[in-house]
Structure 1
Amino acid sequence: MGKIKYEKDSNERLQRCRSVGHDPDFSSCTSKEEKIAQAIELIKQEKVAEAVAIYQELEDVQDTILLNRLGDVYADGKGIEQDSVKALTFYDKSANLGNPYAMVEIGLAYEYAKGGYKKDTKEAFKWIKKSANQGNELANRWLRSVWID
């Protein structure tokens, strides 16, 4: 399972929502899945504030792609004020739902004491190993370079 799979899932969701008769800009989206697809598309278009507004109106978002992307935009400060604590909040939700890329971010937060996380090498290893076990090659390379060499 790799980043390509997550991109594919996102694109398939987007196509499903568009295929049910909604206009391409999602102005008439109503279901939670459609709203999530709209938010993901807005992030791709670098309309981050609009995506965050959609996220905030949804309850109990369990979509790992959207949560991870929101983590990315807060981490990078791309289209929104950079905020590592908010980024890690989104990564944490996504990681706990099984997203291997978010797991790496949480592992690195523990390893480097980022965003309010206390340094904890064992916890870092646990998260990055969990990601590697899901086939994340970046996590595998990191494990080999840091803990095996």
Structure 2
Amino acid sequence: MFLFAYSLISNYNIVMKTDNTFNLLARIHEKANKKLISSLNEYGITDLAPSHGDILAALFKKDCVTMMSIAQLIHRDKSTVTQLVKKLVKKNYVFCKDNPQDHRSSLVCLTDKGKSLKEIFQKISRELYETAYDGLTPNEIANFHQLVEKIHNNF
């Protein structure tokens, strides 16, 4: 795959070496997830995975939303969101109810147990960003974010 991409780039006379950028991004993702799990464990939360965090964070912004809205907010397909929500329902972090404005869909809402995680998630998120951006200037952080957005949009 990388050799194919390299040959395409070479055909356009662009001088670019393959490097380990995607490997590093994957390792950053892996390390961030480990830190998230460790931080959750410090608060006695042992039944959540990082993939649940996106859904809960979306619900912290608005207490009840449709599955489709969650999928759009977190950039996941609806079937993935449905499976994650089912797990969160079993763990009593969220519940589903009929959508009074559209009977074809249901609303996902936070339980009191789910609501109680908001401050913890905010603290863990702040700590995660502090770790990631340690030693970087505000300008470097802004440039990094801009570059990552460009790469993301390229795909």
Normalising by the residue count of structure 1, what TM-score does the alignment of the two structures yield? 0.29
Larger radius of gyration: 2
Normalising by the residue count of structure 2, what TM-score does the alignment of the two structures yield? 0.28
Q: Which has the higher strand share?
A: 2
Q: Which has the higher helix share?
A: 1
